[in-house]
Chain A
Amino acid sequence: MATRNRTALFRKYRTALQQVRPASASTSAQGAVVELSNAPLLRGAASGYNRLSTVDVDGSREGVVSVGLPPPWVDVSEEVAIDMQKIRSKMGELAKAHARALMPTFDDIKGKGQEHNIELMSQDITRLLKKCEQKLRQLSQDRGHSEDMKLRVNVQRSLATDLQTLSVEFRKHQKGYLQRLQQQQQQELTVLVLSFLALQRASITASYERGKEDEFYDPGFNEQQMSRLKKAEVLSEEREKEVQQIMESVNDLAQIMKDLSTLVIDQGTIVDRIDYNVQQVATSIEQGVRELEQAERTQKKGDMVFCVMVLIALCVFMICVLIFKKLVL
């Protein structure tokens, strides 16, 4: 992959040429100055660009340099990019939190705090994703000239692709966590049931032994067992709730995914071809011109038809008048 840089040669010629024609250089500087007074009002207003002209302080370039401030949608796109960066860092945190939460703990309060934390974080991420998606939609809303429009659509596509991969990643995380959570829950349940059964058997044998002494003993749950059972119920309810929430967030994401898929280009298809896109613009412009011409023609035709109709109507009216006149006479 050989390359050759010709910039040095080019610069050499350029400076040489600039020294040769001082006259033309001054005119170009003048032109720029004129731009300073005119451009911000005329062009800037027409195209939505905020043009600023500043004098270069370094003096490395002679004359005036005009700096174009980008249109407002660029800020929106940057905001989206920043938000996505945030999502990415939050997802890193969330992954760590998930790992911690899945480790067996003996401290109930701490565990609850963690769960709450995870909940908050995933809600946060979902909210950010939604926000990004809404902002993306905004990008293509207000109209501009055709090229700016195309630019915006492309920016939108690029951001949408990133957002899609991000949301897929997030969903995979969530799903993995969900599955492991459910597994753990099941394990806990079986452990609970087993221990419960063991306890019961113990109590039954105990009561049997005691039964010999006391015939009216109630072989039900003792207090200890009841409290354990209640605790298990509460725990499973909590888990259930958690699972429900995660499910909801997965569904939310699914919606975002579907919305995004209209924006993202399918790779390997004709839409992904560069030349196809360029030609598409050319043909659409041509088509526009053709349609305009046709519209003009039909409009002209419409005028003519209207004229003819009026004339015919007048003719009929005159004939009527004539007949009326004859009849009266």
Chain B
Amino acid sequence: MVLVAAVRDYVSKMLSDIAGMKVFVLDAQTLAIVSVATSQSELLQKEVFLVEKAESTSSEPMTHLKAVCFLRPTAENMQNLKEILGQPRFGEYHLFFSNILKTNFVQNLADFDQHEAVQQVQEFYADFIALDPYHFTLNTPSNHLYMVPLLFDPTKIQPLCERIIEGVSSVFLALKKRPVIRYSRNSEIARRIAQDAARLMYEQEAALFDFRRTEVLPLLLIIDRRDDPVTPLLNQWTYQAMVHELIGIQDNKVDLREYSRVPKDQQVVLSSEQDPFFRSNMFENFGDLGMNVKKMVDTFQSQHKSNQNIQSLEDMARFVENYPEFRKMQGNVSKHVALMTEMSRLVDERKLMSVSQAEQELACHSSQAAALDELNVQWELPGVTDDEKLRLAMLYALRYERENPQQLQELVDRLNAGRSKYNSNLLYSLLKQAGEEKRTGDLFSNRDLFNRARTMARGLKGVENVYTQHQPLVFHLIESIAKGRLKDADYPFVGNHAQQGKPQDVVIFIIGGTTYAESRVVALQNAANPGTRVLLGGTVVHNSKSFLRDLEEVQRVGRASIY
């Protein structure tokens, strides 16, 4: 409950100290931050009767309201505040900023406030979108820029880097911790961000970060999405990850408008905080999930029946008493059933069962020849989309990059012949971005003899479920961190820090975006060993579509720079 609770505490602290009717002024980012952590009805309880955007142009005066502004300290908000404070519409202004304010920012604010409407200026460090208790994201725009070399276009890349540093530092401020920082060696941007973050925490704002020390310092590990390009390419079979892969989740909301044939319920909320069924099933695989949904429908049905035969007054009284509960359950049941039907339709349509099996084989074991055969079989299946074909080819290419370049070229040619909507050179640009030389860490567990032996041993043991046998790189990283065996050569420290023993708090930040598969690994790991608490964060939350889109964008940027 760490991250969500932190944001919720911040919000309630903001609102409960100010008595009377309030209006909550938010910008686009803080709106998302607040929305995932708390709800409209909770705001109503705190006497917040209006939520407004900072850039709102309405000019109706409402002096009986007090404005509580929660904004990011950005240049646009500066402009907005200038207009807001120039003509104050509300009785009082309480300004809360989600990050560290620079002195000249405060100075400018003071300049705008000629009517003396501002009552307080505070920094409340909730500058991350807490999707789940252990998973946060920053929703950075133009996320693809992390793959562009740093010196290529500093004016564009700078804001991305700053946003990441702000987000990560606010997580640590919310936790009241100062970490040691490690980064993955081969990534230029990871090194840059690690160094800048260290400078912020140990030099510029050293006093702010001076919290009570723990015996073993917490760890911030900054890695690059390109260290593990496999995970976002795979089809997923656990509930949350699957919904994101097939339909798409945005800030815990799912938009069913183009899928659902039911006109009602066009958008639904999938929040592990508010929906107990989702909380207990978000990491279940598709088969078990189906059973659980069935069970839920059955209990609902039996309740529905008992509600239907209302004969005596007592029955009626009982019905009315349970009515809100009943309605809530009804909404929940129809939501999960709608999602299930939609997903199983997509699975059938795209032959995902067989495709996914091939993907897992490619990602985990099987020899090159067998892999190629499997790939050919899948390509011939009717109903397999171009996306699926491209992803299979990419997985193959990532794994057998070195072994047979000619065969790779053949594959690319065949993809081209198939009139794919994607540019087939995408495969090469993936290799260029995330090829074996660029990656840090042992993605396929085949670099040294020990890892190979371990993979073999795992293969002998057999697997429980063919569709979920692949473990993302994050899993192996957490394992090594927990054992204190993360290699200094691959993940160096910033500054002259070193870490003995196991850290209790670990934040793994993936530049370029996380996946729900990784968030699942983290959550399960946290449940299994209560000694260490791992938090996962990223710039966005990827599914295969958004990952490929980022690759395309980068390709376009690269091409534009050549001409």
A and B bind: yes
Contact (Cβ within 8 A) A274 B62: no
Does A290 make an interface contact (CB < 8 A)? no
Does A207 make an interface contact (CB < 8 A)? no
Q: A3-B123, A68-B63 are in contact. Are A274 and B51 (CB under 8 A)?
A: yes
| Nearest CB of chain B from residue A11's CB, rounded to whole Å | 8
Task: Please report the C-alpha to C-alpha distance between residue A17 and residue B378 in the assembled complex, in whole angstroms.
Answer: 72
Partner of A10, one of B13, B118, B313: B118
Q: Size class of B's contact patch?
A: 35 or more
Identify the B interface with A (CB < 8 A): 6, 9-10, 13, 21, 26, 31-32, 34-35, 38-41, 43-45, 47, 49-53, 58, 60-65, 91, 100-101, 103, 106-107, 109-111, 113-116, 118-125, 173-174, 176, 208, 211, 251, 253, 267-269, 271, 274-275, 313, 316-317, 320-321, 323-324, 327-328, 331-332
The interface bits of chain A over 133-166 (1 if a CB of B lies within 8 angstroms of the residue's CB, else 0) are 0000000000001011011001101100100100
Contact (Cβ within 8 A) B61 A268: no
Contact (Cβ within 8 A) B64 A274: no
Give chain A interface residues in 237-292, CB to chain B under 8 Å. 247, 250-251, 253-254, 257-258, 261, 264-278, 282
Does A24 make an interface contact (CB < 8 A)? yes
Contact (Cβ within 8 A) B60 A148: yes
Partner of B324, one of A14, A250, A261: A261
Contact (Cβ within 8 A) A274 B176: no
Partner of B110, one of A10, A172, A258: A10
Inter-chain contacts of B110 with A (CB < 8 A)? 10-11, 13-14, 16-17
Does A221 make an interface contact (CB < 8 A)? no
Q: A148-B62, A267-B274, A276-B253 are in contact. Are A158 and B122 (CB under 8 A)?
A: no
Inter-chain contacts of A99 with B (CB < 8 A)? none
Does A61 make an interface contact (CB < 8 A)? yes
Contact (Cβ within 8 A) A269 B122: no
Contact (Cβ within 8 A) B123 A151: no
Give chain A interface residues in 1-60, CB to chain B under 8 Å. 1-7, 9-11, 13-14, 16-17, 24-25, 28, 43, 47, 49
Contact (Cβ within 8 A) B313 A247: yes
Task: Please report the C-alpha to C-alpha distance between residue A150 and residue B58 in the assembled complex, in whole angstroms.
Answer: 13
| Nearest CB of chain B from residue A164's CB, rounded to whole Å | 8
Task: Please report the C-alpha to C-alpha distance between residue A157 and residue B125 in the assembled complex, in whole angstroms.
Answer: 30
Contact (Cβ within 8 A) B328 A2: no
Task: Please report the C-alpha to C-alpha distance between residue A267 and residue B63 in the assembled complex, in whole angstroms.
Answer: 30
Does A171 make an interface contact (CB < 8 A)? yes
Identify the A interface with B (CB < 8 A): 1-7, 9-11, 13-14, 16-17, 24-25, 28, 43, 47, 49, 61, 66-71, 74, 145, 147-148, 150-151, 154-155, 157-158, 161, 164, 168, 171-172, 175, 247, 250-251, 253-254, 257-258, 261, 264-278, 282
Given A14-B110, A24-B114, A71-B64, 20 more pairs with CB closer than 8 A: A3-B122, A3-B125, A13-B109, A49-B61, A68-B62, A68-B64, A158-B47, A175-B317, A251-B317, A257-B320, A268-B271, A268-B328, A269-B269, A273-B35, A274-B34, A274-B38, A274-B51, A275-B31, A277-B51, A278-B31
Partner of B39, one of A68, A74, A145, A267: A267
Task: Please report the C-alpha to C-alpha distance between residue A254 and residue B319 in the assembled complex, in whole angstroms.
Answer: 9
Contact (Cβ within 8 A) A154 B317: no
Task: Please report the C-alpha to C-alpha distance between residue A9 and residue B113 in the assembled complex, in whole angstroms.
Answer: 14
Among A4, A5, A9, find the residue whose CB has the most chain B CB atoms closer than 10 A: A4
Contact (Cβ within 8 A) B35 A275: yes
Task: Please give me the 9 A-B residue pairs with the lowest Cβ-Cβ distance, nearest first.
Answer: A68-B63, A70-B64, A13-B110, A158-B44, A268-B274, A275-B35, A154-B49, A14-B110, A10-B121
Contact (Cβ within 8 A) A1 B10: yes
Contact (Cβ within 8 A) B41 A161: yes
Q: List 22 A-B contacts (CB under 8 A).
A: A1-B10, A1-B125, A5-B120, A6-B106, A6-B123, A11-B110, A13-B111, A14-B110, A14-B116, A49-B63, A68-B63, A68-B64, A68-B91, A171-B321, A172-B321, A251-B316, A261-B324, A267-B39, A275-B31, A276-B267, A278-B53, A282-B53
Task: Please report the C-alpha to C-alpha distance between residue A251 and residue B269 in the assembled complex, in whole angstroms.
Answer: 34
Task: Please report the C-alpha to C-alpha distance between residue A166 and residue B208 in the assembled complex, in whole angstroms.
Answer: 45
Contact (Cβ within 8 A) A250 B114: no
| Nearest CB of chain A from residue B38's CB, rounded to whole Å | 7
Contact (Cβ within 8 A) B122 A4: yes
Inter-chain contacts of B35 with A (CB < 8 A)? 273-276
Task: Please report the C-alpha to C-alpha distance between residue A2 and residue B10 in the assembled complex, in whole angstroms.
Answer: 9
Inter-chain contacts of B111 with A (CB < 8 A)? 13, 17
Task: Please report the C-alpha to C-alpha distance between residue A70 and residue B13 in the assembled complex, in whole angstroms.
Answer: 26
Inter-chain contacts of B176 with A (CB < 8 A)? 1-2
Task: Please report the C-alpha to C-alpha distance between residue A66 and residue B64 in the assembled complex, in whole angstroms.
Answer: 11
Contact (Cβ within 8 A) A154 B50: yes
Inter-chain contacts of B65 with A (CB < 8 A)? 151
Inter-chain contacts of A247 with B (CB < 8 A)? 313
Task: Please report the C-alpha to C-alpha distance between residue A197 and residue B251 in the assembled complex, in whole angstroms.
Answer: 73
Task: Please report the C-alpha to C-alpha distance between residue A205 and residue B322 in the assembled complex, in whole angstroms.
Answer: 55
Among B44, B100, B208, find the residue whose CB has the most chain A CB atoms closer than 10 A: B44
Contact (Cβ within 8 A) A273 B101: no
Partner of B40, one of A7, A145, A277: A277
Inter-chain contacts of A172 with B (CB < 8 A)? 321
Contact (Cβ within 8 A) A258 B320: yes
Contact (Cβ within 8 A) A171 B317: yes
Contact (Cβ within 8 A) B51 A270: no
Contact (Cβ within 8 A) A145 B60: yes
Task: Please report the C-alpha to C-alpha distance between residue A274 and residue B35 in the assembled complex, in whole angstroms.
Answer: 5
Contact (Cβ within 8 A) A150 B50: yes
Contact (Cβ within 8 A) A151 B49: yes
Among B41, B43, B123, find the residue whose CB has the most chain A CB atoms closer than 10 A: B41
Inter-chain contacts of B313 with A (CB < 8 A)? 247, 250-251
Task: Please report the C-alpha to C-alpha distance between residue A171 and residue B174 in the assembled complex, in whole angstroms.
Answer: 43
